[in-house]
Amino acid sequence: MTNTRITHIGSHVDKEVAISGWLYNSRSSGSIAFLEIRDGSGFLQAIVNKADVSEDVWNDTQKLTQESSLRLTGIVSKHPKKENVFELQVKDLQVYQFASEYPIAHKEHGPEFLMDHRHLWLRSKRQWAILRIRDVVESAVNEYLHQEGFVRTDSPVFTPNACEGTTTLFAVPYFDLGEAYLSQSGQLYIEAAISSVGRCYDFGPVFRAEKSKTKRHLTEFWMMDAEAAFVEHEENMQIQEGLIKHIVKRCLEQCQEEFAILERNIEPLQKVVELPFTKLTYDEAIKKLHEEGSDIKYGEDLGNDDEGLLTQHSPVPVFIHKWPKSIKPFYVKRDPENEDLALNVDLIGIEGSGEIIGGAQREDNIQYLEERIKEEGLNEADYTWYLDLRRYGSVPHSGFGLGLERMVRWMSGVEHIRECIPFPRTVNRLKP
């Protein structure tokens, strides 16, 4: 007899197999019990017929509680009506544990209750689907970047200096060396690594002490920072577009079951793979926003509503590029055609997903960088190493940062980002 996982069950029709898992749901009618089993790879209906099993097995079946862990042996059969759906006709049952009364019943629970029980909530079908979409997104990112010649060179989490401004830093005491900060982005470090490997990326947790309590903000989230030597502004956008298309394509290919569980309409995603992305300069975006009735002033950052207005009729994500340099970080290169503008870019996703990527061509002129570091009130001594990169073989280069949970939120079509990371950290939540 073969041990198998639910995902492979279709290749064992009419054969006897054993499956280990948990009881997700069950119902009984007279002498027949229907057990919905999950084993991590999928969900399966197992049918226990009183006449086909021993008295002990039948008694155990009656005692099973939600989330009891078990091993079932039986014959695989095709679902009588549904294509590609299989069932297990149970012959034997071994119970690893009869679970205590499970706190998350199959009914509506409030979000705070579910968040308090996140360690258990992860087992629900919906959370299972999101975790798996997250995994597909991560794999697709790694796959695309390797395909494009990027080498993974991960960045430290403890850092001596700020990357994205000083207002959102988490400080931690660091032995006799004073304070360290949890990284806001690994960008500055991968800028160093491009001079070794040409194109590189990191992928890991970053931290922002941002008090934003929106559906898109976490205090700890995962970011993929990519950086490439000799790549300038336009090509930077091309790489980003290629990456997003690749992720969406992989999700469409590999997440059909997950999308069905989440009732996610995939039509908009198909268009994203096929059509070229839209590009608007910041100036054009402001003009468009005014036409749409927004009261945003030139020089302001785009808010949630503005991003919504700019993408509402677009079938594809929209690049907003060349922002006023005054609202962008010190490392962004000035636009040679207009010194007041920066060669940066934000990619705004469709379907209300908001900003997915932030990126820029980097300033390669050392004098200008020194001025900008002073202007931003940063401690120059902390950036000496970074300025070395502009001393020894400075090259034009660009990069970008993709927020993993923003991408997962968009792909899954869920409303709140807290469901897009296994254990979310937000302003109000540190547990479990």
CB-nearer residue toward ligand AMO: 67 or 405: 405
Residue type, 164: E
Residue 319 as a binder of ligand AMO (CB under 6 A): the answer is no
Distance (Å, rounded) from C-alpha 63 to C-alpha 35? Answer: 12
Distance (Å, rounded) from C-alpha 22 to C-alpha 430? Answer: 28
Residues 209-268 that bind ligand AMO (CB under 6 A): 210, 217-218, 221, 223, 225
Say which DSSP state 51 is in.
Answer: G
Residue 185 as a binder of ligand AMO (CB under 6 A): the answer is yes
Residues 86-145 that bind ligand AMO (CB under 6 A): none
Q: How many residues bind ligand AMO (CB under 6 A)?
A: 23
Q: How far is the CB of 414 from ligand AMO (least distance, A)?
A: 14
User: Which of 194, 405, 408, 419 touches ligand AMO (CB under 6 A)?
Assistant: 405
CB-nearer residue toward ligand AMO: 38 or 245: 245
Q: How far is the CB of 358 from ligand AMO (least distance, A)?
A: 2
CB 314 within 8 A of CB 349: no
CB-nearer residue toward ligand AMO: 91 or 216: 216
Q: How far is the CB of 341 from ligand AMO (least distance, A)?
A: 16
Q: How far is the CB of 349 from ligand AMO (least distance, A)?
A: 9
CA 70 to chain centre: 32
Give per-residue burial for 330-352: e unless 16+ CB within 10 Å, then b. Answer: bbbbbbeeeeebbbbbbbbbbbb
Residues 156-175 that bind ligand AMO (CB under 6 A): 163-164
Q: Is 117 helix (H, G, I), strand (E, B) or coil?
A: coil
Q: How far is the CB of 79 from ligand AMO (least distance, A)?
A: 41
CB 357 within 8 A of CB 319: no
Q: Enter the tokens of residue 273.
A: 């793979």
Q: How far is the CB of 406 from ligand AMO (least distance, A)?
A: 4
Residue 316 as a binder of ligand AMO (CB under 6 A): the answer is no
Distance (Å, rounded) from C-alpha 127 to C-alpha 123? Answer: 6
CB 239 within 8 A of CB 232: no
CB-nearer residue toward ligand AMO: 210 or 232: 210
Question: How many beta carbons lie within 10 A of that of residue 314, not counting itself?
Answer: 16
Residue 320 as a binder of ligand AMO (CB under 6 A): the answer is no
Q: How far is the CB of 216 from ligand AMO (least distance, A)?
A: 6
Distance (Å, rounded) from C-alpha 129 to C-alpha 123? Answer: 10
CB 52 within 8 A of CB 37: no
CB-nearer residue toward ligand AMO: 25 or 195: 195
Instruction: Write the interaction track for ligand AMO spanning residues 382-401; mark x where CB under 6 A is met and - where it is not.
Output: -----------------xxx
Q: How far is the CB of 47 from ligand AMO (least distance, A)?
A: 44
Residue 311 as a binder of ligand AMO (CB under 6 A): the answer is no
- Residue whose C-alpha is closest to residue 118's, from 427, 426, 418: 418
Residue 349 as a binder of ligand AMO (CB under 6 A): the answer is no
Q: Is 269 helix (H, G, I), strand (E, B) or coil?
A: helix
Per CB under 6 A, the segment of 11-19, 21-29, 32-40, 355-363 that binds ligand AMO is: 355-363
CB-nearer residue toward ligand AMO: 48 or 223: 223
Give per-residue burial for 108-146: e unless 16+ CB within 10 Å, then b. Answer: ebeeeebbbbbeebebbbbbbbbbbbbebbbebbeebbe
CB-nearer residue toward ligand AMO: 255 or 408: 408
Q: Interface residues with ligand AMO (CB under 6 A)?
A: 163-164, 185, 187, 208, 210, 217-218, 221, 223, 225, 355-360, 399-401, 403, 405-406
